[in-house]
Amino acid sequence: MNRSKTAILVLLASPLGIYGATATLTNTLNANVGALGALAAPSTAALTNTGTIFNAYTGMVALQYRARTSAAGGGALTMKVTQDFQTGGPSVAAGDLTYQCGSASLGTACAATTASTSTATQVVTLPLRRFTRSSALAAVALIAGQAYAFGQFAGNGTTTLSVAVAAESAISITSATTNLTEATGSGIFGARFTGTTNFSYKVRTTTTGGGGSITVKITADFAAGGPSVATPPTGDAMTYSCTAAASATACTGPITASTTTATTVATFATNAHSTAGTGSSDAGTVIWTLPNDPVYKTGTYTATATLTISAT
């Protein structure tokens, strides 16, 4: 009986040059980590004014940023106003908008800076060979702490600055005391007592249906024995006339002064504006006339005139 035999050949494959039961190979991984920066900004920021009339509008833009700088160079966060306010309002191009920066967790925050529509101005200067995971910058001379919803981090971010400019008015009396005097050389009882109260004002009225006025009221009368605004002797009423800048229409005198009613000094029309500029104002006068009646007892008498300005 013939028996056949089968031979089985098993081929074991192994890398050339390696022998043994265990093999170890190495591979070099190269990661080229370069300088990089990204930031996130809120989509809007409102500028508002509080306190003193014609106080500056202020607000805050809070930035979050991530940065990695190289040993050979630093970096910067800059800002440029890419769209100015509409005509008739503030103007960045004219230098109306300034900002200053709060402390930055990485880098050096800016000092007071005028924003620009033509040049990117500095916000943060980043140092050499530094990095941050996520830092917050409270910025701008326009700043008050608020909570913001931030967008995604990117190489740049935009924020829309909005400002609601309302009607506003303010007045300052530049003559703290107005002396009413008799003209010299006029002869005995020949001239009335006269004096001029100077004032300056700022005003802005609404573009549609707006207006306003400056009024005066005698809030404290002369003492007994002298002139009287409330109950003058016959023919002795104190009167006044006015002057005002082109932003207003001055009263047409003579107008009789009153202790009970505020009477007109000047009026403002729709879309009226005093002289442009944060330090500028317009000027006007109230020219007083008081009869020189022999019935008055000698002495110095004082009264208080209160001027009030309004705008809508």
User: What is the per-residue pLDDT across 200-228, written as a single tens digit (0 to 9) for each?
Assistant: 999 999 999 999 999 999 999 999 999 99
Whole-number pLDDT of residue 129? 65
Q: In this structure, what CATH number is given to the domain that contains residue 247?
A: 2.60.40
- The answer to whether residues 67 and 94 belong to one domain is yes
Pairing relation of β-strands 98-99 and 108-109?
unpaired
Rounded CA separation 215/310 (Å): 9
Does a structural domain hold residue 286? yes
Rounded CA separation 110/92 (Å): 18
pTM of the model: 0.74
Q: 48: which 2 tokens? A: 């508002």
Average pLDDT over residues 285-309: 95
Average pLDDT over residues 3-25: 52
Buried b (16+ CB within 10 A) or exposed e, 192-211: bbbbebebbbbbbbbeeebb
End position of a domain, from candidates 134, 163, 192: 163
- The answer to whether residues 194 and 304 belong to one domain is yes
Does a structural domain hold residue 22? no
Determine the distance from the C-alpha atom of residue 144 to the mean position of all C-alpha atoms in its chain, rounded to a whole number: 12
Q: 303: which 2 tokens? A: 């009264």
54 pLDDT above the threshold of 70: yes
End position of a domain, from candidates 100, 133, 163: 163
Confidence label for 133 from pLDDT (cuts 50, 70 and 90): very low
21: exposed, middle or buried (Cβ count in 10 Å: 0-12, 13-18, 19+): exposed
Rounded CA separation 21/14 (Å): 10
Strand partners, 267: 213, 249
- The answer to whether residues 202 and 298 belong to one domain is yes
Domain membership of residue 257 as a residue range? 168-311
Q: What is the pLDDT of residues 220-253, one digit of tens each?
A: 999 999 999 999 999 999 999 999 999 999 999 8
- The answer to whether residues 54 and 146 belong to one domain is yes
Average pLDDT over residues 26-45: 85
Q: Do the beta carbons of residue 257 and residue 229 sit within 8 Å?
A: yes
Does a structural domain hold residue 288? yes
Does a structural domain hold residue 24? no
Average pLDDT over residues 133-159: 49
Average pLDDT over residues 301-306: 96
Does a structural domain hold residue 191? yes
Does a structural domain hold residue 1? no
| Max Cα–Cα distance, the chain, nearest Å | 172
